[in-house]
Structure 1
Amino acid sequence: MRVLVTGSSGLIGSNIIRILNRKFDFLGLDIIKNKDLPNLDTIIDNALNIKDVISKIDYVDAILHLAANAPVTTPWEKALKNNIIVTHNIFEAAKINGITKVVFASSNHVVGNFEFVHPYSDIINGNYNQLSPGSYKLIDHTVPIRPDSQYGISKAFGEASGRYYHEHFGLDVTCLRIGTFNTANKPTDIRSFSTWVSHRDLSNMIELSLKNSENFNIFYGVSDNTWKIWDIEHAKNTLNYSPKDNAELYRNE
């Protein structure tokens, strides 16, 4: 399967391509070439010109759309340009070119405001008193969106676009609300003991998303952390997601 990876030089793109390069034929798209993957065929483009995007990605089977301004503090102007307009262009180019599979890197920040209410506010701050794992309802794919930032709003737009392009044009769209994915590949603060996703677990979820036909669906990209606040049973039951890692293994480091 020939897979276009937008944001191929970013943190997630670099690691996913490295881990899955024997399973897919990857083509990168980014504003710079990935210095750690010198052999990756890469289109140098910012995807802001819809005509350029359409003409350059007419020979792929699927798109893994990772490109975005990622910080939760991203100002509206950058979120609009790089997260909303670019995402629209990718979906539109997929439709026009007959690319029927899109995996969209959404974000946990689409529902980030749940973290300001009990019990989630306590859990992400490491206050586990009077709580036990499994005793509280996990945030699942059916909850209303509650973005915590302009960045979260831009990712909610991407999910809404995915549903629109699925229902009107038949694209197979999987949205992944990705948790804390970092260079260290382990939890590095209190919150990430709930929100961390390991490199291999996210790679597994992306591989399954690319290979399975789910019409339109939303999953949480998080490892099987003891104190997770997001549901992964939906991904286990639907995708056969099989996370291998748990943040608790790093608790005493």
Structure 2
Amino acid sequence: MRILITGSSGLIGKILFKSLINHELSGLDKFEFDNNKSFHGDITDIDSILPFFENTDVVIHLAANPNSNADWESVSDTNLLGTYNVFEASRLSKCKRVIFASSNHVVGMYELVKPYSSIVAGNYNNLSPGSYDLVDHKVPIRPDGHYGISKQYGESLGRFYFDKFGIEFACIRIGSVNTSNSPLVGVRQFATWCSYRDISQLVQKCIDIEKLGFQIFYGVSNNSWRFWDINHARSTVGYDPQDNAEIYRTQFEKLKPPS
């Protein structure tokens, strides 16, 4: 399978370059990269990137301004125009499938509502894992900033490209993938963490499935306190996350300053 990864120099791009070893990979990024399979290009200029899409079976679109607190001006070029250009280049090159790195910030405002607000704060009193409704792919969007809005735009654009042109799409609302590959960054990540091998597996499943259609999945590990649904990804593409943030709980408690 010939796969192009935009944003290949970023954290998830590097993870996928290591995990998708059974495919013919190429990358596209405007920043420095540390592999000889990536090309330099700016996704805000469609003419300059179009040649890199030729003969591609799957595009994994990661390139974006990743700052969840970014202002509108900061996200408008890369996350809006750039995403349009990537999808349009995919269409012009007759690519049949796009995997879009969406974000949990598309539904971020749910975290202001109980019980989710309690869970992300680590206040588990009167709660038990799985005793609450999960945020799934059918809930109304509730973006928590301009970044979340830009990612919802990408999902809507993907829906249009599927309905209009038949390009299959998997929009993965990615949780917390971080440089430590653990939830030790903060208590919220005991709900939102996604391990390297789980995000890699989900992407691989989206590549392998014969018929994908248009789908929205949550990229999160099987954490006891997760509040995003994984059953849709499990039943649709066979996602079977292997990790649970709770294996780090004792270590996390030891890192907390004494009260």
Q: TM-score range by the shorter chain?
A: over 0.9
Contact 1:14 1:34 in 2 (8 A): no
- 2: CA distance between counterparts of 1:211 and 1:65? 17
Deviations 1:111-158 (A, max 9, x none): 000000011000010011001111100000000110001000000000
Deviations 1:24-48 (A, max 9, x none): 111000013422xx33x11201111
After TM superposition, list the pairs within 5 Å mapping 1:41-56 onto structure 2. 41-56=37-52
- 2: CA distance between counterparts of 1:208 and 1:93? 23
Deviations 1:75-133 (A, max 9, x none): 21121101111100011111111001000000000000000001100001001100111
Contact 1:27 1:42 in 2 (8 A): yes
- 2: CA distance between counterparts of 1:50 and 1:78? 19
1:99 aligns with 2:98: no
Q: 2:250 aligns with which of 241, 249, 252?
A: 252
Q: TM-score w.r.t. structure 2 length?
A: 0.94
RMSD: 0.9
Find the counterpart in structure 2 of residue 25 from structure 1: 24
Q: 1:74 aligns with which of 70, 76, 81?
A: 70
After TM superposition, list the pairs within 5 Å mapping 1:107-186 onto structure 2. 107-186=103-182
Which deviates more from structure 2 when the two are superposed, residues 159-168 or residues 72-81?
72-81
State the one-letter code of the partner of 2:27.
G
Aligned residues between the structures: 249
Structure 1 position 53, deviation (Å): 2.3
Find the counterpart in structure 1 of residue 33 from structure 2: 34
- 2: CA distance between counterparts of 1:173 and 1:70? 21
Deviations 1:41-86 (A, max 9, x none): 1120111112222233112111000000101111211211011111
SS at match of 1:43: strand
Find the counterpart in structure 1 of residue 199 from structure 2: 202
Identical counterparts, % of pairs: 47
- 1: CA distance between counterparts of 2:51 and 2:240? 37
Deviations 1:166-201 (A, max 9, x none): 000000000000000001000020100000000000
- 2: CA distance between counterparts of 1:52 and 1:114? 39
Find the counterpart in structure 1 of residue 232 from structure 2: 234
Contact 1:9 1:32 in 2 (8 A): yes
In structure 1, stretches of 5+ residues that fail to align are: none
- 1: CA distance between counterparts of 2:15 and 2:38? 15
